[in-house]
Amino acid sequence: MEFTTIWPARTVAAALAFVLLDVVHAAQPVAAPHLRAPTSAMGTETDCTALSGPIGGGVVLNATTIPEKSDMPAYCRVTGTIAPSLNFEIRFPKTWNGKLYYGGGGGYNGFVPPPVAAPLRQGYVEVASDSGHQGDGMSAAFVLNDERAARLFGSEAVPEVMSIALKVVAKAYGMPPVRSYFEGYSTGGREGLMAVQRNPELFDGVIARAPAFNWVGFNGAFHRIAQALSAPGAEFKAAKIALLARHVRQACDKLDGVVDGIVANPAACTARRVNVAALRCSSGKDAGEHCLSDAQIAVVTQWITDVKFQGSNTYVAKGFNLTGNEDDPMNFGVWVSGNGDLKVAGQYVMQDTAVKYYLAKDETADSIAYGPWDKKPAALDAMATLNDATDPDIRPFIGHGGKLIVWQGGADAALSVNSTIDYMKQMRQVVGGENADHSTRFYVAPGVNHCEGGVGPDHTDLLSVLDNWIANGAEPGTLIARKLDESGRVVRALPLCQYPQYPRYTGPRHDTAAIRSASNYVCTNP
């Protein structure tokens, strides 16, 4: 499936081209939801011009036929605004398959994501919105004096837009969708988990990719690392990042059975094995490209270490893995260090805007000088109430037959995959292993950056997997992830294993073609 833009290119981080106890016993697994049978409305083309006009609630629709392009099928685009400023689009395919696909946003949203070709080609009605405000997708300025905009971004935009979308689909075809699915990346992944937790009957299935679900914890970790990087001698330019990445690969690349640039067995790549201290400059001060200063080692130490913050709850962010892919152009340099220019790093920008508009409520605030992240516990609580999708009890979603697929790149430098792992473990404990096995899947794609890219195979059509699961009862197991070149040709494939398994190489040694084939790997427990 094609990937939509995750972070708007117009931001200061322009390089982010697409780019955050005991429990009760769970109930027994439930049956799949009752699915409506196909009707004659499916497989037909809607009358685009007939969709313009009022639809109720003060919403007026404008419909336009969009002709086919080389990378996009023809479709009918319907736009509208839920007053005062929640803009949405509904895209009707040439031939409807009877189902709806809601695509999530990215960053702080502020724009309607462009259409995704694959769902339209498959016949889905496609829905998207700007989440209730317009502007820079890396800025939270919209929340400062607009409580409604803050709530819409947090959790309310998706159900509000869905209420209109269902009416428009019924107007177009005389019937609602047989099934409705959500798929999102990063903030879109958070929106998906938010719907699962707060609006459990809204979707039949949800795909949450690299979910930025832990808003308080993630941004607190970004703040801590930004403070560490601002210390004298701590900046990480490209040469230092490359030094760190080579050191990690040398220690850990072989642990999955093959040296191929991918550390696919992160459980074995422990801090002790990596031994970052071995890179220390003898004086502790920066002595060139072949060693790390004490301040730089402190940055790495904080990068891989868990952190907790106190509000009325304890907010936790898990440390990042050292993956050996830190030197990828869209990895550590873009997200963490800014390649020596901290203020253009994606994580710096995100924590800076969170300090200004959620915590200090002062657009002139200096986020680096801002005290401990949790110095205003009530402000953390308020941000969590709006934006955190950390509730592990998804039994209401499972109870109506909902299916959840969570996916994340193993080399994600924007959001810690360990935090996602921790959430999935908590969820499994709360809902029970049998329910989790019946209704959820979790995949970690080795060597893949935030949402896409990196050295690892990053393409898997999870929408078809989800639909086959719900419609036909085909429970997902090991999938296949593919790496494509610019022409769309497959250049490498790996098994996409269910966590905690990883793909271990079992093929012939020193055989480049064999290394690139998924058939020479076996999903293995660490």
Residues 445-494 pLDDT 10s: 999 999 999 999 999 999 999 999 999 999 999 999 999 999 999 999 99
Model confidence at 18: pLDDT above 90:
no
More confident site: 10 or 52: 52
Q: Residue 436: which pLDDT band, with cuts at 50, 70 and 90? A: very high
Predicted local confidence at residue 280, as pLDDT? 98
Residue 4 in tokens? 């939509």
379-415 pLDDT, tens digit per residue, is: 999 999 999 999 999 999 999 999 999 999 999 999 9
Q: Tens digit of pLDDT for each residue in 409-434? A: 999 999 999 999 999 999 999 999 99
Q: Measured between alpha carbons, how far is residue 247 from residues 301, 323, 330 in Å?
A: 15, 10, 19
Segment 251-276 shows an average pLDDT of 98
Rounded CA separation 133/150 (Å): 9
Q: Is the pLDDT of residue 31 over 50?
A: no
Indicate if the pLDDT at residue 371 is higher than 60: yes
Query: How many residues appear in the chain?
Result: 526
pLDDT for res 143: 97
Cβ neighbour number for residue 46 with a 10 Å cutoff: 23
Whether the per-residue pLDDT at 256 is higher than 90: the answer is yes
- Asked whether residue 321 carries a pLDDT value surpassing 90, the answer given is yes
| Distance, CA of 271 to CA of 128 (rounded, Å) | 42
pLDDT in tens, 154-201: 999 999 999 999 999 999 999 999 999 999 999 999 999 999 999 999
Bridge partners of 483, per DSSP, are 492
Which residues partner with 76 through β-bridges?
65, 92
Closest CA to 89 of 126, 40, 41: 126
Rounded distance between C-alpha atoms, residue 411 and residue 428, angstroms? 24
Residue closest to 258 by CA, chosen among 456, 450, 409, 448: 456
**Alpha-carbon distance values, 150 to 87, 96, 289, 369 (Å):** 15, 34, 44, 25
Return the CA Rg of the chain. Answer: 23
101 strand-pairing partners:
126, 181
Query: What 3-state DSSP class applies to 139?
Result: coil
d(CA 410, CA 407): 9
- Residue 182: CB partners within 8 Å, gap ≥ 6? 101, 102, 103, 104, 158, 191, 192, 195, 202, 203, 205, 206, 207
Question: 54 forms bridges with which residues in the sheet?
Answer: 60
Q: Is it the case that residue 12 has pLDDT exceeding 80?
A: no
Judge whether 411 and 454 are in contact, CB under 8 Å: yes
CA atoms within 13 A of residue 362's CA, in its CB half-sphere: 6
| Measured distance CA(223)–CA(164) in Å, rounded | 38
Euclidean distance between the first and the last CA atom of the chain, given in angstroms as a whole number: 29
Q: What is the pLDDT of residues 216-235, one digit of tens each?
A: 999 999 999 999 999 999 99
Q: Which of 341, 332, 337, 346 is nearest to 413 (CA)?
A: 332
What pLDDT band is residue 46 in, cutting at 50, 70 and 90?
confident
Quote the CA–CA distance of 214 and 38 in Å, as a whole number: 39
Instruction: Count the neighbouring beta carbons within 10 Å of the beta carbon of residue 312.
Output: 11
| Predicted pLDDT at 2 | 40
